[in-house]
Structure 1
């Protein structure tokens, strides 16, 4: 009976640690959101609405590529054919708050990783616990790289494609601000999390849930899925699809090497 109570207390203590991890992470996000709120003009005018401008750096870059290689010229434009509108009384206030929270999450992401590492570290070896600085640095770099890729590549490609897609000349694009900002935030944040794939594979391999052989065996299916995603979010030209496909493919290949590395390290320690 005493052992049973001890196990129950151990489980409750574990939940208590997790609760404080979530509390500290939430506080960090709120602090980051407060900082973002104070710079909301810059965040909206320069960052959020940047891809709406025909002179956005990505459009200029793709236009130069299209001109040089005689490809689709849809990126060579001065203004995107749509206008933003707010149709609800609290719409802009809601966008201000949720955008600040999203920015707060991005800003505080390294701290959140630190908290998660402390939570899982008791299950790791002593040598692995000493690698926390490398884990934080690599995971943060991958996340910010993914956010940048989503913002500078996927978001402009999606906005340009959807803004120029018309079913009839009688339909005029007046996009709701919630829809536009949702696309920018979701694409950038989701891509940042997708770029954490090598980190996720590392922990799955440590738990024995994924192996390098499994990833190799399903490589062809993964490539097909990546190509489908690239085809959906890009205009119908090869260059754009390649630009989106290559980073995702590289992440998958890196994940295979990580799973292989973990399995070799585990064999050495046993």
Structure 2
């Protein structure tokens, strides 16, 4: 008889299965395979975010292509607007203060130079009244000194006229576009020209006519002429400086047209009011009731007003031409 197989005792390891018994080995293999498949599962979970990160840059690159079609047509005007500096009210006041201080320094320095020739300058200013009065009088001890100071100050203003106009341009130019700042040299030249031209017109034309009319009115009434030096000088200064400022009318109209404040249509539509204002100012500069002297002052001023209207029309034409060029560039 074959003896039965002995059972293993407790604490002894079981015998290894013989060949031909794969049942037990197949039971242990699946857990090993499951542990090997876990890392690929983790890699597969991480792959989708990597694919999404690769697709993001093309989406960002495609965003700049969605620009509105109206931006390229306005590139130049927008660039000019961006270049305009922004200044607060205090900064404007500080800039104005510095400009005025520089102007005063230059005028004062020029004043001392003109004061050395005050007597010669006074002789020139007294020529319009010299044929009608033998000698001017003064009734104050300090009158001769005051007269020389006024004469030197008046001369220094006309001598420094180009610098004054340049300072005015320097104060206004920060509010202009880059294409408008190229008018600096023409503005300074014509501003100085009209200022000096107004003073010359007052000295050679308006002042002699006004003095002759006013003095002869008293002499024809058999009155003795006892004209004070200071009063005559004040009258002459009002005429010369008043006309010098009034002759700036074309420059003022041109600048207002550049800023878009006035147009030639607006100026011609209010031409009657302009004539009335010019006549009132002419009467204030030369206080004579006759039509001749008022016409002498008002006539050239009206011509300058019409010259300013022409300058405004030129500005409007150039603005329309520039707008048409921008539209053509956009159409292309």
Normalised to the residue count of structure 1, the TM-score between the two structures is 0.77
**Aligned pairs for 1:87-126 within 5 A:** 87-126=139-178
How far apart are residue 226 of structure 1 and its match?
Answer: 5.1
- Provide the rounded CA distance (Å) in 1 between the counterparts of 2:92 and 2:278: 38
Unmatched 5+ residue regions in structure 2? 1-85, 324-332
Q: Tell me: CA distance 1:172–1:261, structure 2 relative to 1, closer, same or farther (3 Å).
A: same
Shift of 1:139: 0.8
Residue 204 (structure 1) shift: 2.1
Of 15, 32, 37, the residue aligned with 2:115 is 37
CA offsets, 1:192-230, max 9 Å, x none? Answer: 110000111122223333221222123244445656748
Q: 206, 210, 214: which one pairs with 1:162?
A: 214
Secondary structure of 2:136's partner? Answer: strand
Partner residue in 1 for 2:304: 251
- Counterparts of 1:49-88 in structure 2, within 5 Å, are 49-54=126-131, 80-81=132-133, 83-88=135-140
3-state SS, counterpart of residue 209 of structure 1: coil
Over 3 Å counting, the alpha-carbon distance change for 1:168 and 1:195 in structure 2 is closer
Judge conservation of contact 1:154–1:233 (CA < 8 Å) in 2.
no
Contact 2:219–2:225 (8 Å) recurs in 1: no
CA distance in 2 between counterparts of 1:243 and 1:167 reads: 23
Match of 2:271 among 219, 241, 248: 219
Aligned residue in 2 for 1:136 = 188
Q: Is the 8 A contact 2:264 2:313 kept in 1?
A: yes
Equivalents in 1 of 2:90, 2:299: separation in Å? 45
Q: Deviations over 1:66-100 (max 9, x none)?
A: xxxxxxxxxxxxxx146421111211111211221
Q: How many residues align?
A: 237
RMSD: 2.9
Structure with more contact order per residue of length (Cα contacts < 8 Å, sep ≥ 6): 1
Distance 1:86 1:38 in 2: 21
